[in-house]
Amino acid sequence: MSTNNKTNRQKDMSFIEKARRAQIIECAIETIVEVGYAQASLGKIAKRANISKGVISYHFLNKEELLEQVVIEYYLACHSFVYPQIEVLTSPKDMLQKYIEAHLTFADKNRKHVFAVMEIVSNGRTSDGKLKFATDHDENIFQPIEDILRLGMREGAFWEFSAKSARVIALTIRQSIDGFSIELMRNPQINVKEYIQELVTIFDKATRK
């Protein structure tokens, strides 16, 4: 199992190994934020970390693995932050509200990391040109919102939209969350609390009976 694999692998890593990888990942994130995905070379990442390029190759199989690690770390951290807050809730309305609030809070607290992940996810392609993270995204990102929407519909908490409606609403919510991260980069002094409140209101109105 891949999760298990991962755990074992990390267990097997020495403290120094983990620290170096963390440092490199951190510098990769900062480099991507600063110069953008296309210009973020291993050389620039190494320079930022004050290490030689070879060190990155020593700790990561290749550039791909490094960037994947940035993405994976985000998925895990984001999931760990968001889902405990949702699972304790019972009302779909509250769950949707918390979903938005938690994701925006996470994006706010991890601005660079989240922005870097979006750069990687939207630019990372396989050698045949296809977007690498497209399917993962689909399954792991949209599904949970749709689940909440469907639950709410069954319980009569939302207006009676169709399955297709649910999908579009889910997409729109996700886009507004990702869009928030972008807006945060362009406009760092945003009042986050207010933004959250606005977004919650918008989707409360959009879904309520």
Partner DNA sequence: AATGAATGAGCATTCATTCAT
Partner DNA sequence: CATGAATGAATGCTCATTCAT
Of 7, 8, 10, 52, the residue at the interface with DNA (CB under 7 A) is: 52
Task: Determine the interface stretch with a second copy among 4-12, 17-25, 64-72, 170-178 (rule: CB under 8 A).
Answer: 170-178
Q: Which of residues 16-55 bind a second copy (CB under 8 A)?
A: 34-39
Please state, in angstroms and rounded to a whole number, the distance separating the CA atoms of residues 44 and 127: 23
Please state, in angstroms and rounded to a whole number, the distance separating the CA atoms of residues 118 and 105: 16
Give residue for tokens 């925006």: 104
Task: Determine the interface stretch with a second copy among 5-13, 77-85, 105-113, 199-207 (rule: CB under 8 A).
Answer: 199-207
Assess contact for 116 and 70: CB atoms under 8 A.
Answer: yes
CB-nearer residue toward a second copy: 23 or 123: 123
The conformation of residue 88, written as its DSSP 8-state character, comes to T
Give yes or no for residue 183 binding a second copy (CB under 8 A): yes
In the complex, what is the shortest distance from the CB of residue 92 to DNA, in angstroms, rounded to a whole number? 44
CB-nearer residue toward a second copy: 76 or 190: 190
Sign for the CA dihedral angle at 190, 192, 196, 201 comes to negative
Give residue for tokens 């309520």: 208
Binding mask 98-137 for DNA (x = CB under 7 A): ----------------------------------------
Q: Which does 163 bind (CB under 5 to 8 A by kind): a second copy, DNA, none?
A: none
Query: N- to C-terminal Cα distance for the chain?
Result: 43
CB-nearer residue toward a second copy: 3 or 191: 191
Q: Amino acid identity of 84?
A: P
Q: Give the gyration radius of the chain's Cα atoms.
A: 19
